[in-house]
Structure 1
């Protein structure tokens, strides 16, 4: 922006005269005071005048080389007996303060405590399938219902050993600290993305027969005359999949 101001000020108008500051300001999209400021700085100091003046306050105590060491160590090394760097461990390694390490990590967007997963599909029809699924969500056909299906297995069925004490003025509801295990349960759920309605029966076991019961429940609750599209992955079931077996 500063360079464009100087170059525009060096041009002449239709009469061969230097362009007015107001005309340059309209062209660049800044105020007239900004044009006058940087034009005067350039006339006085030439190219050096286009740089930032030193900021007031205490001089920097951390050099660029030290910042580079912290960034490189964060990206390329791992601490002993730990899965990732903490600000305290990195401060001890580099000799900088913990707050300095935090500022450097924030400036470079480094979050060593976070990890995300990814998966590369080897399916040659992966792109076409993604288009089908995304298209069904974004633009479903008329007289059709799209349901997103998933399952949650091995849910612990827990119950408190004593009944809960009701809430009273100034006292919240209170529950016993211990509980009784009642085995596990499995949830099959179907989400209607258009309305937010969830159809989700619980079953004691996680087999093909339970998945078929879940499909039968969907068939009973879906209004007649609608074409049903199920979007689901493979439900794991002892080496085979319940959806494949169904």
Structure 2
């Protein structure tokens, strides 16, 4: 302790006092050699004599008396666990400054700062300024439709494994990809500096990006269109189905959501009429998360579109096409782990929740 380079200064000086005392030196001489006050030497020499090494540590001090009681902290936490509307506050969610203001107005404390409120909330990991949305399945055929999709991901259809000449395509549209031309050039990242993108931009129009993702071969087929609709979607289908191995395939399953371009039985009949070996499979309503192409769209959003800095729509089209080639060169199938067993467990939990909270399930079904 007396000679350690990382020993705190106070601990090092106290250790030196002890070592000098061990050599039989009086307190006055130790004070002169260490540059400390005589009373300081006497105190730490006596503490070591009584308690040894632990005696060289600082003793606990009572400190300043607390400004707030445990009851006041608990009352603020309880306030944070209420919706602002329940207290009459014209807010959608709480923040620490608003909670401090409400605590003062409610007589919980005469004064309290936002930082104190934040420290109290951290003790129980309360974050009332965050929110998550949720929805109950409202599709009466949710289980059947979702099971069809999950079975196809597991290469099964009607409990029969898919053969070599059968493929699964996940398709959808990513709407309104804008071309935002920044008024100042984007600056490349540098040492201790992130990429800098000017906030002001000029609008260069928007387009729709349609993509079909072969689930098991990890291959993407995409095209850009001025807008979505039946004709653009059928153009995507034709683009895929006019090339091998899909032309001569026994069956090609097209997994789509319930968007207007491919909704209902009419869309399925339209697809079958154009390509007899194509089968349209719809995800349940409000269940686009079952469509694997949404994962690819999230990759496009992170790696291609954002931050959005394009001179015009032609640059957007060129980058999307180039990224498809780059992605297909190294892509691997997504590791989809949600199975029909997981689906049954999820629905069972929702049923139990609906039984315990019938008012929530009735509101969800009405919506």
Counterpart selection for 1:118 from 122, 125, 134: 134
SS in 2 for 1:76: coil
Is the counterpart of residue 232 in structure 1 residue 260 in structure 2? no
Contact 2:257-2:263 within 8 A present in 1 as well:
no
Q: CA offsets, 1:16-69, max 9 Å, x none?
A: xxxxxxxxxxxxxxxxxxxxxxxxxxxxxxxxxxxxxxxx77699454433332
More helix by share: 2
TM-score (norm 1): 0.58
RMSD: 4.1
Equivalent position of 1:137 in the other structure: 153
Counterpart selection for 2:220 from 191, 198, 203: 198
Q: CA offsets, 1:103-149, max 9 Å, x none?
A: 43334343222222222223222122222222322445343332322
Equivalent position of 2:10 in the other structure: none
2-side partners of 1:236 and 1:151: how far apart?
11
Shift of 1:97: 3.7
Unaligned runs of 5+ in 1: 1-55
Counterpart selection for 1:210 from 232, 242, 260: 232
Unaligned runs of 5+ in 2: 1-59, 104-108, 157-161, 271-367
Q: CA offsets, 1:134-173, max 9 Å, x none?
A: 23224453433323222122322344679x6997x99x99
2-side partners of 1:57 and 1:244: how far apart?
79
2-side partners of 1:166 and 1:71: how far apart?
45
Equivalent position of 1:98 in the other structure: 114
Distance change (3 Å), C-alpha of 1:108 and 1:123: same
- Equivalences, count: 188
TM-score (norm 2): 0.41
2-side partners of 1:103 and 1:110: how far apart?
10
Alignment of 1:179-198 (within 5 A): 180-198=202-220
Q: Which has the higher contact order (CA 8 A, sep 6+)?
A: 2
2-side partners of 1:118 and 1:124: how far apart?
18
Shift of 1:98: 2.9
Distance change (3 Å), C-alpha of 1:154 and 1:230: same
